[in-house]
Amino acid sequence: MSEKAVELFRASIPIFQALSDSARQDIILLLAEKEPLTVNEIANESTLSRPAISHHLKILRDQKLVQIEQKGTQRYYSLALNEAVELLKRLLATVENECL
**Interaction with its own copies in 9-48: which residues (CB under 8 A)?**
9-10, 12-13, 16-17, 19-22, 25, 28-29, 32-33
State in angstroms the smallest separation of the CB of 75 from DNA. Answer: 4
CB-wise, 74 or 78, nearer to DNA?
74
Q: Which residues contact 77 (CB under 8 A, 6 or more apart)?
A: 27, 31, 35, 36, 37, 38, 39, 42, 57, 66, 67, 68
Question: Between β-strands 66-71 and 74-79, what pairing exists: parallel, antiparallel or unpaired?
Answer: antiparallel
Interface with its own copies: number of residues (CB under 8 A):
30
**Interaction with its own copies in 64-83: which residues (CB under 8 A)?**
79, 81-82
Going by the DSSP 8-state scheme, the letter that residue 20 receives in this structure is T
